[in-house]
Structure 1
Amino acid sequence: MLNRRTMIQGAAAAAMLLPTVAQAAPLPARRKPPRLRPGDTVGLVEPAYFTADSFDLDQIQATIRAMGLIPKPAANLLSRHGYLAGTDRERARALNGMFADREVKAIFAVRGGWGSARILPHLDWGLIRANPKLLTGFSDITALHLALAARTDCPTIHGPNASSAWGQLSWDSFRRLAFEGETPTWSNPAAAGDRLAPRNPIRTFRPGRASGPLLGGNLTVLSALVGTPFLPSFEGAILFLEDTDEAQYRIDRMLTQLALSGILGRVAGVVFGQCTDCIARNSSSIGGFTLSEVLAHHLTPLGVPAFQGSLFGHIENQFSIPVGIRAEIDAAEGTIRMLEPVVA
């Protein structure tokens, strides 16, 4: 009798023979948001989990002010509806309001968690399309990044949430994209610190270079959007993924879903960033696949450049990755080079 692991492997291999799933045609990134300038007002929104302590909000606003920006909290900050920052309509209304507010030049998600996908049917896509603004955040905010890529022509930034640590690498990465309008190349720092070798190695599954629009984010959130009208076309895209607290078999399961849905067969290249604490914690995992082995099973057969280890995900210091912007990856070198600015 076939065991569960063998069945999953077989399904993943069979996916390469299945016809791809039709998706919405990609929208060209023509209407770019304006770049940020010192003194700009930026909106703080909570499309998912809530903030319970006003002192936490004070610290978050202090971080925004340290960027030279003026924070404008949404009305639902400090609101609570179960584990959410207000009802679905309240959270959607707050985000719609920030896009409509002419004073607000960009929007920061305060935190992730869960709940962003629940507000997608309540967002005013015509309003958002007519008022392009740079949305920044990660984790559960992936739902908003992908929905904006599917429904508008406005790029966004998969980067730290407003409540993140904002270390020097995080800040420099975001500043170069959002304030300076640069087209940098991201590569893991070569410095080893007090170690004999660098702490952030790159694992190359298939070398080579590939270019295309950057699309992706949190694997769990992305896979949950498969089959919905809020997922963009991945034809010729550079797929970037990260996750946290997911056992290897669950990463396997979600990548299998992306394969069976036709998404993996459409991409031009893949970058898997950091998977924080992605280790099964029960005895049945002994002798199982490592994360890198799971990734190799899915990515190597694609025949496109693919690598693991870039510094983005649930880590203290991370690169900002522009969603919807064309980039080139070099899988042997572990680099991501922007081919166009994310802001106008």
Structure 2
Amino acid sequence: MKIVKPSLLKKGDTIGIIAPASPPELKKIHYAKTFYEKKGLKVKLAPSVGKRNGYLGGSDQERIADLEFMFKDQTIKGIFCACGGYGTPRIVDQIDYQLIKENPKIFWGYSDITCLHTAIFQRTGLITFHGPMLSSDLAVDELDAVTINGLNQVFAKTEIMINQSTQPLHTLMQGTANGPIVGGNLTLLTSLLGTPYEIDTNGSLLFIEEIEEEPYRIDRMLNQLRLAGKLDQAAGFVIGHFNQCEPKTPAKSLTLEQVIQRYLVIEGKPSVSGFQIGHCLPVKSIPLGARATLDADCKRLMIESGVKE
């Protein structure tokens, strides 16, 4: 499959905001979008942003229409998800991927958006971006330098290098591995198994992150990936942030570290944990689908730029 890099954003470009999962807080979107406006961008909200259908940001048809509208609109140069929550698995099989393939552009989000990252990359070859979103992350008085640096990667063609300069990393298994970096939220990755949209980890660096799941649940999901052959097929493992994933009753539970050791170290492939990628602030952003090198000996992850001039 041919890998496609979207064009970088330039001053004067317009970006679109969509809510393909849960309903975002409009007040937070209007507060957070000033980051992009200060970069010289124009911000356009999709027609259904702000709607609510229970725990969804509008009906399935409305959310699909918003996503496809933004890819089709030639004035829109980048598409940014307002928040995660839940909803993308409901629409993944109804999206026009040929439309996306014919109109490649920056697509940004994380958490529940993992479903779309995986499907879009595997159906179109388009590199997408795993990073913080307007309503759920960026509506703060002042963003830290680490987070800003990650957000800036769509404005310039630069290689990404993540090492121990901003957070402690831990080598679980030594060695070096190369390949496209794929993955995202563990819950969403396992929810796609057994479907036409399940993740392809063959020869790839598998990245995982999670929030508010106890170790026994992490155990269940990693075991499901193991039984599906996804861990065996991967070239290496990039373990991101596991936010609030401690056991409620430690005396009656394995630790998160023990669970990760059980499933990833046993594979004997380069593995590093502690990456500040996921449900956290400060947070690093990465281009999913881009070629990457994981040097577990030096505790370093290098990823080529996800955009083109």
**TM-score interval (norm. to shorter):** over 0.9
Task: Please state how far the C-alpha of 1:67 moved relative to its aligned partner.
Answer: 3.3
- Which of 24, 28, 45 does residue 2 from structure 2 map onto? 28
State the TM-score, normalized to the length of structure 1: 0.85
Task: Please state how far the C-alpha of 1:315 moved relative to its aligned partner.
Answer: 0.4
One-letter code of the match for 1:178? V
Task: Please state how far the C-alpha of 1:61 moved relative to its aligned partner.
Answer: 2.5
CA distance in 1, matches of 2:225, 2:17: 32
**Partner of residue 328, structure 1:** 293
Task: Please state how far the C-alpha of 1:156 moved relative to its aligned partner.
Answer: 0.4
**Partner of residue 236, structure 1:** 203
Matches within 5 A, 1:271-290: 271-281=238-248, 283=249, 285-290=250-255
Aligned length: 303
CA distance in 1, matches of 2:297, 2:266: 16
Task: Please state how far the C-alpha of 1:28 moved relative to its aligned partner.
Answer: 2.6
Q: Secondary structure at the match of 2:278?
A: coil
1:282-330 CA-to-partner distances (Å, cap 9, x unmatched) read: x4x4142111111001111111100110110100111111111110011
CA contact (8 A) 1:44 1:110 kept: yes
Seq. identity, %? 37
> Which structure has the greater CA radius of gyration?
1
* Pairing 1:40–2:7 present: no
* Pairing 1:343–2:307 present: yes
**Partner of residue 118, structure 2:** 146
Task: Please state how far the C-alpha of 1:232 moved relative to its aligned partner.
Answer: 3.8
CA distance in 2, matches of 1:112, 1:140: 5
* Pairing 1:185–2:161 present: yes
One-letter code of the match for 1:181? K
CA contact (8 A) 2:5 2:306 kept: yes
CA contact (8 A) 2:29 2:134 kept: no
* Pairing 1:312–2:277 present: yes
* Pairing 1:217–2:191 present: no
CA contact (8 A) 1:109 1:161 kept: yes
CA distance in 2, matches of 1:157, 1:277: 24
CA contact (8 A) 2:193 2:199 kept: no
CA contact (8 A) 1:185 1:336 kept: yes
One-letter code of the match for 2:144? G
Rate the CA distance shift 1:108–1:331 in 2: closer, same or farther, 3 A. Answer: same
1:8-38 CA-to-partner distances (Å, cap 9, x unmatched) read: xxxxxxxxxxxxxxxxxxx230x32111112
CA distance in 2, matches of 1:82, 1:88: 12
**Partner of residue 21, structure 1:** none
CA contact (8 A) 1:307 1:332 kept: no
State the TM-score, normalized to the length of structure 2: 0.94
**Partner of residue 67, structure 1:** 39
CA contact (8 A) 2:163 2:169 kept: no
One-letter code of the match for 2:2? P
* Pairing 1:167–2:147 present: no
1:196-230 CA-to-partner distances (Å, cap 9, x unmatched) read: xxxx4222110111100000000011110111111
CA contact (8 A) 1:150 1:231 kept: no
* Pairing 1:203–2:180 present: no
1:156-176 CA-to-partner distances (Å, cap 9, x unmatched) read: 01111123235321111231x
Question: Over the residues paired in the alignment, what is the CA RMSD in angstroms?
Answer: 1.4
CA contact (8 A) 1:210 1:305 kept: yes
CA contact (8 A) 2:189 2:199 kept: no
Q: Secondary structure at the match of 1:286?
A: helix
CA contact (8 A) 2:247 2:255 kept: no
CA distance in 1, matches of 2:225, 2:236: 14
Displacement over 4 Å in runs of 4+: none
CA contact (8 A) 1:203 1:307 kept: yes
**Partner of residue 212, structure 2:** 245
- Which of 232, 237, 259 does residue 294 from structure 1 map onto? 259
CA contact (8 A) 1:99 1:132 kept: yes
Gaps of at least 5 residues in structure 2 are none
CA contact (8 A) 1:120 1:147 kept: yes
Q: Secondary structure at the match of 2:33?
A: helix
Which stretch of the first structure deviates more once superposed, 237-246 or 157-166? Answer: 157-166
CA contact (8 A) 1:64 1:162 kept: no
